[in-house]
Amino acid sequence: MTHSDERREEERERPRVLPTRITIPDILGEMVYLRPATSQDLPLMDELDAYVNASGITGKDRVAERAAVHAWVRRSEAWTQGSDVGEGVDDPERRRTIAWALMTTPDDNDESVNADNATEFLGMIFLIDIDGWARSARIQVVLGKDFRGRGYSRDAMPRVMTYGFADQPEGLGLHRIWVAVPEKNTRTFSVYQSLGFVPSGTSRDALWDNRLGKYQDLNVLDTLVDEFDPVRAMDAFGMHVITSNPGMEKAMSLHQHSMAIKKQELREAGLMKDLDDERQRVAGAVRQAVQDDAQAPTLGETLHRDAERIAGDDVDAENAWPYNNAERNTSKKAWWRTLGSDRNRHGAAARGDQ
């Protein structure tokens, strides 16, 4: 039996019926804490102006975006109760939705966010139209106006996707997760690509842009379970893996297996010796710097990072993933700490509080 035949048999044996009742897990990030969203959170979305510029972000007008979010939260709550989605939000195909509230700490500090200190509501993240038969779902983030562009989506999305791709009952056992982006939202399009999504198609003139007075295309990106690597998606932005999150331990195992295969391919091609020689050269430079330079710790750390890059990133050079080395070399202390710690100061300045 060929590998493709084995994969086909595995797919046939996979469950294609979603559970009638679900327990939505809390998910921990570095900047955010995700808990199941409830109807009590919906007024908070209005207070945060979460539907401002909806047409530029998702292509919906503000009223439609608000109505969709309300329906998604009610669907999510109904699923946790094991009941039908309810009058006005029923679906003949019984497409399910999971809604999480995005929470973080209100104070500017370096303390990791957790269930006890996550008291500031930022917005919501959803897995929408969960199709058990096709094992597919769409992911979407809706943030308050003042919390956009600060890295919260980049922290939350790979962790939610890891849960979605994890096998049941730990996760949903999805095969595909996709997103839809209006053509003018080029920044979000780039962020999704950096997280591992691949452009898969365009719906022509699918959206109306009232401000510009013209139709615009809707771009679709997706990723598959055997393509998505959450370890690399997080590493691309200097984020840490949190093994307590659902599906993360298996994802790490698959990542290590993938890296081992790449290294073996390099060895068989006769390229691994060159990498070993380069690592030895860099290690020697580190030792010499420690002996000769008063600034050796700083220089040594730089050279050590170079050695890690040679050992890891060069193995990835042949990989088709849309991550690049410039993003992956981001410091673990970099963007998410800076953006998160600056959020209150920026908000205060905008309100004229400073």
What distance in Å separates the CA atoms of residue 268 and residue 199, rounded to the nearest whole number?
32
pLDDT tens-place string over residues 207-232: 888 878 889 999 999 999 989 998 88
Residue 121's beta-bridge partner residues?
Answer: 103
The token pair that represents 217 in the structure block: 């295309």
Angle, CA 248 vertex, CA 37 and CA 50 arms, to 5°: 30
* Contacts for 6 with CB less than 8 Å, ≥ 6 apart: none
- Among 283, 280, 331, CA closest to 303: 283
Domains of the chain, CATH where assigned: 12-174 (3.40.630), 254-333+342-346 (no CATH)
| In the predicted structure, residue 120 carries a pLDDT above the cut 90 | yes
Residue 274: pLDDT band (50, 70, 90) is low
Q: Name which of 102, 251, 229 is nearest 171 in CA terms.
A: 251
pLDDT digits (tens, 9 = 90+) for 301-317: 554 444 444 444 433 33
pLDDT at 75 over 80: yes
pLDDT confidence bin for 331, thresholds 50/70/90: very low
pLDDT above 70 (res 98): yes
Confidence of residue 352 (pLDDT cuts 50, 70, 90): very low
pLDDT per position as a tens digit, 141-156: 999 999 998 889 999 9
The pLDDT of residue 91 is 59
Please tell me the predicted confidence (pLDDT) of residue 322.
38
DSSP secondary structure of 180-192:
EEETT-HHHHHHH
pLDDT for position 272: 57
Q: Which of 32-46, 307-321, 331-345 has the lowest mean pLDDT?
A: 307-321
Q: What are the strands of the beta sheet with 33-36, ordered from one edge?
A: 27-28, 33-36, 96-104, 120-131, 136-143, 176-182, 214-224, 198-209
Q: In terms of DSSP bridges, do strands 176-182 and 136-143 run parallel, antiparallel, or are they unpaired?
A: parallel
- Whether the pLDDT of residue 325 is over 50: the answer is no
Question: Residue 73: what pLDDT?
Answer: 96
Give the C-alpha separation, 265 to 258, whole Å. 11
> pLDDT tens digit string along 25-37?
999 998 999 999 9
pLDDT at 285: 66
